[in-house]
Structure 1
Amino acid sequence: MKNKLPPRMPRSSGIAKLAPFGAARRKDYTPVSWRQYFQKYEDVETEGGTFRVYLSPEPDHPSRPRIVTLHGGGYSALSWSLFTEEITNMIHCQVVSMDIRGHGETKVKDPDDLNIDTLVRDVEQVILKLYNEEPPPLILLGHSMGGAIAVRAAHSPVLDNYVQGIAVIDVVEGTAMEALASMQSFLRGRPTHFKSIEHAIEWCVRSGQVRNVDSAKVSMPSQILNCQTGLLATNEVESYSSDGMVHTPVATRHAPHADRIAEESDDNDEDNDESDATDAKHAKTDENDAIHSKNDAHTKNDVQSKNDTADVASNTENDTNNAKNGDGNAENDANIPKNDESIPKNDDSNTKKDEGIPKNDERITENDINNSKIDDSITDDAHFARPNAVGDGAAMKYKWRIDLSRTEKHWAGWFGGLSNAFLHTRAPRLLLLASVDGLDRELTVGQMQGKFQMQVLTRCGHAVHEDTPGEVARVVASFALRHRLTSATENGEHMNLVSAPGC
């Protein structure tokens, strides 16, 4: 029987160190350029100022609809990046995503004027200027504050004849007005500054503002400013892209549930760490005379875990003393022989960065967070809500593009009368929600009367279109096809889009 079994694999010398659970996996928070999702951008000059508009490729025919996306308060046009990739793969259309006044790269004379009438007028002027006073068929798609703008713009005499459909994401008058009372408290709980772009993206994902790391990597840089230059962090991502330093994001095409955090293996670092630990323990096991190798054994004890140190130290009294003295003694690094390559150098690139789960008496340093080395087992999200606690000024490098707390006087105007305006829009209506409990009384009655299509999406937060861009794109594509506003692409024909059920 033994002869029939495959030969046994040779065992490596020494005792291999088992990596802690999840230690070989870490999340990638490297920012990504908007160019991976949009073809170009245009800075549209209007009476109010200059508005940044991102555009996907032109459709195959001028009569195809343009989906004008309007982001929520504090977000930007790039929050629609992954949605744009998905929707253009399903139906023939063009996505027109603009930075609203006071957000993103838009520059206006009075950025604090966020009155609903001013915001609607901005949308009107941008669309007319973009299409030389003769817009093609339009589908207005808005999230939160952007949804309120889309509903009001659909009633505008300037755009009424061109709006062929309206879709609103996770905004209902009743629930929105109730939430305003706690909005200031929520804003005070956010960090005011970030030490790096990666740190901001990491906070965005860990805090739950956006649950899809791929979306956060392209949208979060457009929401923060460099405190020194006053420029949007998106401009720095462009320089990283030109040097080839930006990681390619996990493809979301054909993946409507792309709400998982992308992780990458730190194989090289883990292998080096295992090799160092194995060599150290092997050397300690083979050496019977600890007195002749006191300095060497003392240094190697730093690499061993506490259990290994206790086992080896039981052999001799001198080893025990060396292990005790060696724990956390960084000054003795100067005694390390330079020709001993098996002893790890005490530099920033190799110092315990791969030992996954920290010991109970150790805390994660600010430098670890800055380099995005946080282990999967660490779930203390509160740690990321205070990046400005560092006293050396390093945490003051980036701040929010807009101070939402100063916009409170406009909140009631955004959402007041929204449900009634939505129900009386001439164009076909679509409402997407993250929870069925979000409906108010007026919309509940309207939905029972069949006045609009409603879809409830799961596994997502408030930023529905960022958390599940594929599902949102599928619903919007089905909505457009059902009302014969466009036709499906070759890929969309195989997705049974029209048969997607409503709620």
Structure 2
Amino acid sequence: MSDLQRSFAKAKLAGLPFEPPLPPMHVEDDEGEDEVDDLKPLPDSTQDDDSSSASSASSASSTGTIRPSPSKHLFARPKGFSTGRKGLEPLPWNDYFTRELYLNVSRPTERLTYHAYITPPTAKGPLFVTHHGAGSSGLSFALFALEIRKALPNAGVLSLDARGHGETVVERLGSQPTTNNLDLSLETLSQDLLDVILMTQLEMAWSEVPGVILVGHSLGGAVVTDLAVSGRLGNAVLGYAVLDVVEGSAIDALQSMQSYLATRPTSFPTIPLAIEWHTRSRTIRNATSARISVPSLLRLDLSRSSVEDAKSWAWRTDLAATQPFWEGWFVGLSKKFLDAKGGKLLLLAGTDRLDKDLMIGQMQGKYQLQVFPEAGHFIHEDQAEKTAMVLADFYRRNDRSALVLPPKMDDLLKAKPVA
């Protein structure tokens, strides 16, 4: 190249804008978003788990729809890691419910403080009473509570924390109040739900219990069905809905529950990271709902925290310790579901969950079936708006207040004038 050509090239290059080299793969941007780290994406082999056995297995509890493998490093702490996650901060409960309740009761063997969230019904609207699944909390229905009020402005929602979950506190008299000695039998949980409804009536000064739609997810489905079939709420129950649990698949899943629980992280350094784990593992597919419900699943574990590693957030509920009650939760569920009085609704994430009894009942038209194949096990969180719409229609079909019955023949005869 001649000197003249070199001079021309240098002049041209000097006029070009400077472009820095590409950043290394492990450096995150200024906002902490879109970082490339060791949190590898999960394999999509289940195709949203619409018919996967993994999602069916989670019907035994409310722990998720995918069984993460330890080799996937779902919770690895990569180089350049930031403890914050933009857009994954917790959301406050009072954006979804109007108040929280602390209901105290004393019994010979225990003292309890039931904790529940409520938005009261207005103008004789219905009350949707929700019961969460094992390991979850009343806030799993927070987004649903918001959506049902859009569909039915007069409706109310009462969502409790079951014993051993959320902020409900149980003190066993004569022994230390630990999770291991909690009575989580179906009979006890069913009685707890009834007590919460009746105590809420007193707390809210209602002259009578409003028309009730019982809604239960997973374990909660077994609880609301048990209460419905007992008839202890009388004519107050307009209907009941069970979300993604049937007897057959739930009992089959119990065989693998302990191995699944062993794959979960035992703790999280921050709440946003716990929310991220739930969404990345597709346990909860709706990030907004995860931001509401996940914080209530964890407690600050001071025994695991250290000076160097500021905090450790552990699970509130020791699901492994509830194993003695697992079978009792689900045995006989299908028969009770079909036998109880009132409207019946079954929401599933896949039709593969139907067992023989429910399949026959469906063909005989004994209950309404709705399938959300795009949802995971947490139907009411993943598809809160659709769940609310289905339940709003379910209520309208079973609303007895809008039913006008013809007069009885005896009344007509008594009213007939004598010739």
Shift in Å, 1:394: 2.3
- Tell me what 1:155 maps to: 229
Query: Which amino acid is the alignment partner of residue 88 of structure 2?
Result: Y
Shift in Å, 1:408: 0.5
- Tell me what 2:92 maps to: 33
Shift in Å, 1:93: 0.7
Greater Rg by CA: 1
* C-alpha distance in 2 between matches for 1:186 and 1:395: 28
1:441 aligns with 2:372: no
Shift in Å, 1:437: 0.6
Alignment counterpart, residue 72 of structure 1, candidates 106, 130, 133: 133
Shift in Å, 1:60: 2.8
- Tell me what 1:421 maps to: 336
**Structure 1: gaps of 5 or more residues:** 1-10, 230-387, 488-503
Could you give the per-residue CA deviations for residues 452-484 of structure 1, whole angstroms, max 9, x where no partner exists?
A: 000000221111111111111111111111223
Shift in Å, 1:66: 0.5
Alignment counterpart, residue 207 of structure 1, candidates 276, 281, 293: 281
CA contact (8 A) 2:121 2:157 kept: no
Shift in Å, 1:32: 1.1
- Tell me what 1:129 maps to: 199
- Tell me what 2:251 maps to: 177
* C-alpha distance in 1 between matches for 2:156 and 2:383: 20
In the superposition, relative to structure 1, how do residues 113 and 482 fare at CA in structure 2: closer, same or farther (>3 Å)?
A: same
CA contact (8 A) 1:144 1:169 kept: yes
- 1:290-305 to 2 correspondences below 5 Å: none
Question: What secondary structure, in the 3-state scheme, does the structure 2 residue paired with 1:95 have?
Answer: strand
Aligned residues: 316
- Tell me what 1:13 maps to: 17
Shift in Å, 1:161: 2.4
Structure having greater relative contact order (Cα 8 Å, sep ≥ 6): 1
- Tell me what 1:106 maps to: 168
- Tell me what 1:89 maps to: 150
1:410 aligns with 2:325: yes
- Tell me what 1:223 maps to: 297
* C-alpha distance in 1 between matches for 2:393 and 2:325: 34
**Structure 2: gaps of 5 or more residues:** 1-14, 35-85, 173-178, 403-419
Shift in Å, 1:204: 1.1
CA contact (8 A) 1:64 1:485 kept: no
* C-alpha distance in 2 between matches for 1:407 and 1:396: 26
CA contact (8 A) 2:244 2:348 kept: yes
CA contact (8 A) 1:128 1:134 kept: no
Shift in Å, 1:17: 6.4
Query: Which amino acid is the alignment partner of residue 169 of structure 1?
Result: L
* C-alpha distance in 1 between matches for 2:227 and 2:234: 8
Shift in Å, 1:65: 1.2
Could you give the per-residue CA deviations for residues 192-241 of structure 1, whole angstroms, max 9, x where no partner exists?
A: 11111111111111112111111111100000000129xxxxxxxxxxxx
Alignment counterpart, residue 430 of structure 1, candidates 345, 352, 357: 345
Length-normalised TM-score, structure 2: 0.71
Q: Following TM superposition, where does structure 1 have runs of at least 4 consecutive aligned residues deviating by more than 4 angstroms? A: 16-27, 390-393
CA contact (8 A) 2:238 2:399 kept: no
* C-alpha distance in 2 between matches for 1:180 and 1:449: 29
1:52 aligns with 2:56: no
CA contact (8 A) 1:93 1:486 kept: no
CA contact (8 A) 2:147 2:384 kept: yes
1:400 aligns with 2:315: yes
In the superposition, relative to structure 1, how do residues 212 and 12 fare at CA in structure 2: closer, same or farther (>3 Å)?
A: farther
CA contact (8 A) 1:46 1:126 kept: no
* C-alpha distance in 2 between matches for 1:114 and 1:166: 21
Query: Which amino acid is the alignment partner of residue 192 of structure 2?
Result: D
CA contact (8 A) 1:193 1:395 kept: no
* C-alpha distance in 1 between matches for 2:342 and 2:382: 27
